[in-house]
Structure 1
Amino acid sequence: MRKMNMARCLGILLFSVMSLWLGMSQQTHRVQAVQVGNIPVDVKAVFPENQNGMVTGYFDFEIASGQSNNLTLEFTNTADKEQTLTVEPVVGGTTYQGELNYEPTDRKADSSLKLPFTDLTSKKQTVTLAGKETKQVTFPVQIPQTTVNGIVLGSLYVSSEQANKEALKARSKKRMKVINTYALYFGVVLRVNDWESAKPDFRLNRVVPKLINNDPGVGVDLQNFEPAMIKDKALSIKARVTQKGSTKTIKHYNMKASFAPNSTLSYPITWGGDRITAGNYTVHMDLKTSDKTWHLKRNFTITGEQAEKLNQANQPKKNYMWLWILIGILAILLIIIFVIYMYKRGRQTGRQSVQNQPQNRGSRKKKH
């Protein structure tokens, strides 16, 4: 009897483990559907067999030279009306705020990038869904014969051109400065060949005088020229500007950043409300991760013409609030004077009408 009970317990335990394993296996191959803005279409990723089992929010898998794989998205139209969406492959990059960027941009691919994600898969696709229809869209990935070891970062960017056109139309009618566009993306991380051997490395390129939030400053092009990624704001950046040949800090700016492989961050250093002056300068930058430190510097020049242009753009706008307040006070006074005048005039007119009324007195007859 004890042997039978023990066998039964082992069987139940084995069944539970198998069920849990199967459930986890299914979860690693699909992600919960998400909606594209306020558009009635749900989208979910269908992960390949070699998907990193620890990742469920985006595509992440290893792939070698000459190999291929598929990136598949499943669309479900939850409405009765036909819906049309576009899916566009995008090269991953780094924003000036130190964030990983998965959205389309007008910037050219980084000069150090040897395997752009957009060169490894098909072009933009359009998917049209009838009411309540479900459809899959696949982007094949093909890695060429290459000696590159490292990470390729990108995304599949889903948007509705029709919804965005309607938003632009509504903005023009209501004269709004800001509009809502509706889109989402699924990140793609391709770990190519011996990807772990690639480590991030940095250099300073050009320094460009520019307006930063309408204040004069410079954008320092900090480039990660290796196919390695830094996530979770794990890069500490400390930057300062001095006059060339001096150690006195004029301006400084510190940031925690993530960094895409083979990308450039236009690092912002602003003069704030101060005027920027022409001269020769040096930018000093200290970078640090958990296992490496970089000390970089680059000389640059701000011409008199550039300084004048930036300072003129930063001129404070004339504030006419006092004039509007004065006009408001005068308007209120005029209204008060007009009301008093009309009130007095009304009373005077009333008195005159009473005085001009005929006085009728009744006569009483005496009885004899």
Structure 2
Amino acid sequence: MKKKMYGVLILIGCLIASVCSMQEVFAAEDENKLGYVVEPLQPSTQIDPETSYFYIKTTPGETQTLKVRVTSTIKEKVQLRIYGVDASTKEGVIEYTEDEKNKDDTLKEPLSSLLKVGTPEITVGNFEEKTVDIQVTAPKEHYDGVKMGAIVIEKVPDKKKKQGMATKYNYTIGLITSENGDEFTNGKTLKLNEAKATISHGKKMVVAQLQNPEPKMIDKLNIVATMINKETGKVAKEKTVQNYRIAPNSHFDFELDWGVNDLAAGKYTLKLEAKNNNEEWHLSKDFEITSDEAKEINETSVFKIQTPTWLKVTSVLLGIISLVLMGSLFYRRKKWEKAWKRLRIAKKKKKKKKGRSKNKK
């Protein structure tokens, strides 16, 4: 029994060692692919020293300097670009991008506007180490909640290489600023601004714009969406999601994929039941899909049921052949029935003649 136990312990130990070694190999591969690693150096204003990102306290109008250590992991030189971005939301995930179209109207003095990178572009190589300074100047006026974004250290693509579907490689270090360090994951306001039918990524969609207008994040959000046809009262579409996150002062499109079926014109009501550990929201929005909208969307979408021409032609030919065969069988059956009828009549006449001849005798 002891020998079996020792064997199991040795096996578990070997498995753990192999997993650790695999993780080290994958980490080394990622570092070699990028050619550099980064490390945020926590300042004295860091609110939570246990986090791996910057979560700093600010004072109105004051400037502080954040430092990021960049270390080369290969001999070749790597050119890097450093810049700041704001937090946005896409499909229930918080993202950090330069896309201005995702900026919400409620986002005043975004974090990216408060940052100034000392050296926006640097070059590292041959395992050297450099420190990048990022200045953060807080707004002169008091602000509630937090400002959320990130510092991006991005590898500049090699211009000599062929341009195509270029993959961007970067490190993103989260950055959150606050004046008081209060809880920032307990947003209380969720709005359903509009609902409409549209095309998204070539798909037929019903899209609801959800907005978090507060400078706090909404976390661990579960949503049950129900789209009801107002004329029939029937449920036209349903969708359930879990663990969505919405960045402060942001909005995103909650999408109901219509699939390959045609979108039907009509008047609808979209109901959203949303909740997390802190709040519950009951949202509703009436909207209409006109006949013209439905027709345009159905025709434009690449995701639809299409019958190939050859299948249509084959179906028609098979139909014609089936009709010919059925007609032929019907004709032959009628012909056989007439033949059998004549044969029966002939037999009856023959029997009658025999009967008469016997009577005469």
Same fold at TM > 0.5: yes
Give the letter for the 1:269 counterpart.
Answer: L
**Bigger Cα displacement from structure 2, 294-303 vs 196-205:** 196-205
RMSD between aligned alpha carbons? 2.9
Residue of 291, 315, 332 corresponding to 2:304: 315
Does residue 248 of structure 1 match 2:243?
no
Are 1:227 and 2:215 an aligned pair?
A: yes
- 8 Å CA contact retained: 1:76, 1:133: yes
- 1:140 partner letter: Q
Amino acid of the structure 1 residue aligned with 2:235:
T
For residue 107 of structure 2, what is the aligned residue in structure 1?
113
> Would you say the 8 A contact 1:64–1:193 is kept in 2?
no
Paired residue type of 1:253: K
Distance 1:42 1:291, change over 3 A: closer
Q: Which runs of 5+ in 1 are unaligned?
A: 1-31, 172-177, 323-368
- Gaps spanning 5+ residues in structure 2: where? 1-26, 312-361
SS at match of 1:122: strand
Deviates more, 1:243-252 or 1:151-160: 243-252
1:56 to 51, 54, 57: 51
Give the one of 167, 190, 198 matched to 1:202. 190
CA displacement at 1:50 relative to structure 2: 2.5
Show the counterpart of 1:276. 263
Q: Where does 1:140-179 land on structure 2 (aligned, <5 Å)?
A: 140-163=135-158, 169=162, 171=164
* Offset of residue 285 of structure 1: 0.9
Identical aligned residues as a percent: 25
Letter in 1 for 2:135: P
Q: CA separation in 2, counterparts of 1:255 and 1:311? A: 26
Alignment check: 8 A CA contact 1:204 1:298 kept: yes
Q: How far apart, CA to CA, are the structure 2 residues paired with 1:166 and 1:260?
A: 38
Deviations 1:184-237 (A, max 9, x none): 211111123474487331111122322345431212110000001134xx1111
**Match of 1:95, as an amino acid?**
K
Q: Output the CA distance in 2 between the equivalents of 1:228 and 1:147.
A: 15
Report the Cα distance in structure 2 between the residues aligned to 1:291 and 1:247, rounded to whole angstroms: 32
Query: How far apart are 1:80 and its partner, in Å?
Result: 2.9
Query: What TM-score results when the alignment is normalised by the length of structure 2?
Result: 0.69
AA in 2 matched with 1:295: H
Partner of 1:238: 224
Deviation at 1:106, TM superposition (A): 4.6
Judged with a 3 Å threshold, the aligned counterparts in structure 2 of structure 1 residues 128 and 309 are, in CA distance, closer, same or farther, namely same
Q: Residue 86 of structure 1 contacts residue 159 of structure 1 at CA under 8 Å; is this kept in 2?
A: yes
Q: Secondary structure at the match of 2:34?
A: coil
